[in-house]
Structure 1
Amino acid sequence: MTDDNLAASVAEEELSMGVSVPYVTSFCCCLNLEVGAKIVGYLHLVASLILTILSAWITSGIYDNISTVEDAGDHVYSRAYPIALAATIASIAHVLLALFLLLSAYKRWCNGLRSWVWIMVALWVAGLLYIVVSSALSGFVDSGSDIFLAFALGVVFFVVVGYCIITVNSYYLMLKSSEDMEGPAKIDY
């Protein structure tokens, strides 16, 4: 049975149970799902490492200005430090999440892949809700072209992350389907 048939059979089974999960049969039209999941893991790792380094550098710069003359009046640095520290911790968590995906992809661990998918879906939805709610509460204070550019970049970002999640989920479906096809261990008589 080919990868396409395996993913389709798992998707049909989930659809019959009332769950509709989108899936793809290849990554970027030419790579198989295993390679796609590994590429997603490496891209996640590189982006997370870059964000960790940048946010740690910014956090240390803010920390150096706490309790100085520049911070005395309005306490901008004192208020920005916890935010920068939280961003650094979140980016470190993403590094660990990317390593978890890579380990799961190389070991072909279905539960690890599924856990990564659920965590990323939760983060994806939380990020989308945060943007919508904060935009609605604060209003739009920029010009129309700035709002459009931010909207276009946000759409591209969320679509790319969504496609990566769907790719890893499709790889999970393929592995799960092949596990189900193996059945119980056979005994030689």
Structure 2
Amino acid sequence: MTQWRELPIAGAWEIVPELHPDDRGVNAELFKASLTREVAGRDFSTSQVNCSISKAGVLRGVHVALGEDGTLASGQEKYVTVASGSVFDVVVDLRSDSPTFGSWEAVLLSGERRNAVFLSAGLGHAILALTEDTVLLYLCSSEYDPRLERAIDALDPALGIEWPSKDAHGHPIEFMRSERDRAALRLAEATASGTLPER
């Protein structure tokens, strides 16, 4: 049976499906709308599915999307899993009125475990690929709109995310980031400038 484990940041869960192996391979139930509704207390409507393939050392995020009304509260929810490889998956609380604002939690996602994370609106997301050709799948509650996307520096010392220093094979990691992520504001800057609005 699929297990949902709520993370210390409210509104974020790790989902661990039951695996059904046989001599042909493995089958797993990765997403079920009724179970998501039961645990999260609301429907999760998938408007877009993204796939990203990353080399070991690729660091993506911290990303969050606002809602059409420009608030975090109505922003994008995500259901993220790994089809192949492994990632250090990080959830960051960007909700200014939350008791865990600015804190982070990490989950190791892998193609072997088939586990996933579910993030409510207002939670930032970042991943560090630990294997070559890591394949991630993102189920998103809203379609991508660059006007609503926000990025926070994943290496912001104030966040203090403890990124792994070695990949899945024990080799030292050299972070690879996009120009956008390298130029991202730190959390304090983003908050002060209104980049991250009140909920």
TM bucket normalised to smaller: under 0.3
Q: Which has the higher contact order (CA 8 A, sep 6+)?
A: 1
TM-score, with structure 1 as normaliser: 0.21
Structure holding more strand per residue: 2
Asked which structure has the greater CA Rg, the reply is 1
